[in-house]
Structure 1
């Protein structure tokens, strides 16, 4: 099987492991920070939701202003060298994050220094991911055969979410003092693994880097607009991640204030979502048999919206009037409805994974290899604008008094809108590319 064979190839395995460790560390740090602040610092649903949204927005924001630079660098320089440089910087930024966690754990200057320092480190983690984001997909056509690209994309996506799963589980279960040590160890291991990635030099003409972020960002967006298939794939991916952002923002306050459950249950919600994405990524690769197509995209995103609606309905049925300590995982799982909620989350994410993986494959196969990184960077930038919009929407809905449960319905509406773009994409996916003449 092509998918499993790739995991034994040096041209793929070090990249896969580097991305896996990066996603693991980002989510270990972010989840440990958010859960600690939500459960140990604040005691107000509005403040908790706003903090979760601010944290998400800070992590996403660098994709907006730095994607243009990251895409150019990835296309004009050796991608493997960029990865190693970025992973070296991760050691320093995680040192800052660990210091913030330590101060918060000790109760030292929590609001005036510890929380701002943790958020700053999270912002830097977003900068790091901005520079790695275009490479993890655009390097695949350079190291893999054409018939292996979809399998490689699926593995990267599945591995990323399994890493998110592991980082999230650990963040919810281990003490914060253990988390601060583990993020440093993971950063060191990630840098060591990245040194095994084979060279991936620039593929075309070496152009000068345009460091003007406004001009280069506008050029990126203009490039995407030239090809209707890439444009439709980008819009569909962007709305998908907006839905994901809204759901991830809501999970901690939803678990605490609606389900009356502990942070471990909030972690379990994220875990089920991550498992579902990974399963969906593998399933769609099997269904498409290596073909890059949006054949199943409209149905997948409609199914995702339907399962979000069911999740909302089931959450509304959760009993009220709990007193005393928050529910532990065994206490939560003692309710039959808990298993329904978890199964529903799994189905939401499986549909999402089946939807998004082929769309990323479009971005790397419809353009010349020397433009692949910038295409991914453009998509990351546009997606990030949408995701920040999702975070701001969550804050706005909270401020105007919309309940946490009702906020889930925004995801249903967005899924229905995305189905239109997915349907158009499938109808037009065989149109000739506007960019392949650059090869």
Structure 2
């Protein structure tokens, strides 16, 4: 296997990497700009802020639940590169809607602006629904088997570095600048998407089922009866539910508990992103290209420990004087600021170490003409779990449970993920069909 970073020099990988990087950057630039505007300029109630963030998260996840089956069918029955071009063209239109929302929300028509922004959030979820299966399923088609784990790790690392830059930039520019920026990035992504090499259908023709409920049920039932895939998908679903809860509670927690500005909120979200990117690279190095769940249980248990430690740290934080917020320089000057960021980074690193091998597992233990549908089935289950998680967060928040206490719920979910990952590792040892899966 060549060094994973060497894949970035290859014509069959670099355009895909660039396209998904720009898409993730743009998605998070817009969403973070919207969330920060709502948290710091519209609402002034921690419960309402968490509820709005939960609603936006559920709205962006709903398309995965409804349309992942169709997305998987299309990706396995058509040229994946052609679908990428169509999706990236649609992104330009979506960002026109989102940019209009960002601009209008700062006028007397604030409600209309918020509606446009939430509409763009839903459409961005739809965009990701159709692009998501492709960015993983295309890898076994373009790369040698020994390079798939490295390619998956780079895609994951690139995604989270894009999330990092998108969320940080959103905290430092005005909504007007964000509106212009998302349109420019969408145009660049359209161009890079056209450079992805062809990836034609491999298997027999597929008759598309346009009924989203029937096709989703059939897709999931056709995948989850395989024990190893069942365990992998459930493990990933718990991880993304954990991620959804953290994303929902962090902006209100940063504002109301740590009493810091929106720039610090972006730094926090960005720290999560860069940590997962680091974890993606670390686990690829530890496994040396082998696809295994060997380290997954320990990784997610460590993640739970760091989540508990983070909760304890924020409980002892000294808030800013009443009516004030720490800016980023004042935050960094606080005695425990470095420790808070290091623990947050540790949460993300261990999370990346947990989830990346599981995605590689999904794309290498099934036939190549079924990879997109397998990833799509994973997306359906993931999105369902995230929607449920967002609903639970909303209900718990309205009942008065604080963000600090919700972190203990996250830690408990880490233990469930570890149990599932351990079962997956044992199942893999007892007869995984992938020759390099045994760990």
TM-score w.r.t. length of structure 2: 0.97
Preserved contact between residue 259 and residue 320 of structure 2 (Cα < 8 Å)? no
After TM superposition, give the deviation of residue 37 of structure 1 in Å: 1.3
1:180 equivalent to 2:179? Answer yes
Q: Secondary structure at the match of 2:11?
A: coil
After TM superposition, give the deviation of residue 325 of structure 1 in Å: 2.5
The answer for the alignment partner of 2:251 in structure 1 is 252
The answer for the alignment partner of 1:269 in structure 2 is 268
1:86 equivalent to 2:115? Answer no
The answer for the alignment partner of 1:10 in structure 2 is 11
The answer for the alignment partner of 1:297 in structure 2 is 296
Q: 1:377 to 1:345 in 2, by over 3 A?
A: same
Preserved contact between residue 332 and residue 338 of structure 2 (Cα < 8 Å)? yes
Preserved contact between residue 227 and residue 433 of structure 1 (Cα < 8 Å)? no
The answer for the alignment partner of 1:170 in structure 2 is 169
After TM superposition, give the deviation of residue 165 of structure 1 in Å: 0.4
Preserved contact between residue 320 and residue 326 of structure 2 (Cα < 8 Å)? no
The answer for the alignment partner of 1:127 in structure 2 is 126
Preserved contact between residue 364 and residue 434 of structure 2 (Cα < 8 Å)? no
For residues 421-436 of structure 1, the aligned pairs below 5 Å read: 421-432=420-431
Preserved contact between residue 64 and residue 381 of structure 1 (Cα < 8 Å)? yes
For residues 125-164 of structure 1, the aligned pairs below 5 Å read: 125-164=124-163
Runs of 4+, deviation exceeding 4 Å? 431-436
Q: What is the number of equivalent residue pairs in this alignment?
A: 434
After TM superposition, give the deviation of residue 432 of structure 1 in Å: 4.5
Distance 2:234 2:224 in 1: 11
After TM superposition, give the deviation of residue 435 of structure 1 in Å: 11
Distance 1:82 1:160 in 2: 19
Q: Secondary structure at the match of 1:24?
A: helix
Preserved contact between residue 57 and residue 391 of structure 1 (Cα < 8 Å)? yes
Preserved contact between residue 133 and residue 373 of structure 2 (Cα < 8 Å)? yes
Distance 2:206 2:433 in 1: 20
The answer for the alignment partner of 1:64 in structure 2 is 65
After TM superposition, give the deviation of residue 431 of structure 1 in Å: 4.5
The answer for the alignment partner of 1:285 in structure 2 is 284
The answer for the alignment partner of 1:46 in structure 2 is 47
Structure 2 residue ranges without an equivalent (≥5):
none
Q: Which moved more, 1:90-99 or 1:205-214?
A: 205-214
After TM superposition, give the deviation of residue 320 of structure 1 in Å: 3.9
The answer for the alignment partner of 1:389 in structure 2 is 388
The answer for the alignment partner of 1:362 in structure 2 is 361
The answer for the alignment partner of 1:414 in structure 2 is 413
Preserved contact between residue 367 and residue 433 of structure 1 (Cα < 8 Å)? no
1:108 equivalent to 2:108? Answer yes
The answer for the alignment partner of 2:326 in structure 1 is 327
After TM superposition, give the deviation of residue 434 of structure 1 in Å: 7.9
For residues 194-273 of structure 1, the aligned pairs below 5 Å read: 194-273=193-272
Distance 1:223 1:304 in 2: 32
Q: 1:324 to 1:236 in 2, by over 3 A?
A: same
Distance 1:170 1:249 in 2: 19
The answer for the alignment partner of 1:19 in structure 2 is 20
Q: 1:432 to 1:370 in 2, by over 3 A?
A: farther
Distance 1:134 1:80 in 2: 12
Distance 1:190 1:292 in 2: 30
After TM superposition, give the deviation of residue 159 of structure 1 in Å: 0.1
Distance 2:37 2:320 in 1: 25
Distance 1:132 1:432 in 2: 32
Preserved contact between residue 276 and residue 347 of structure 1 (Cα < 8 Å)? yes
TM-score w.r.t. length of structure 1: 0.97
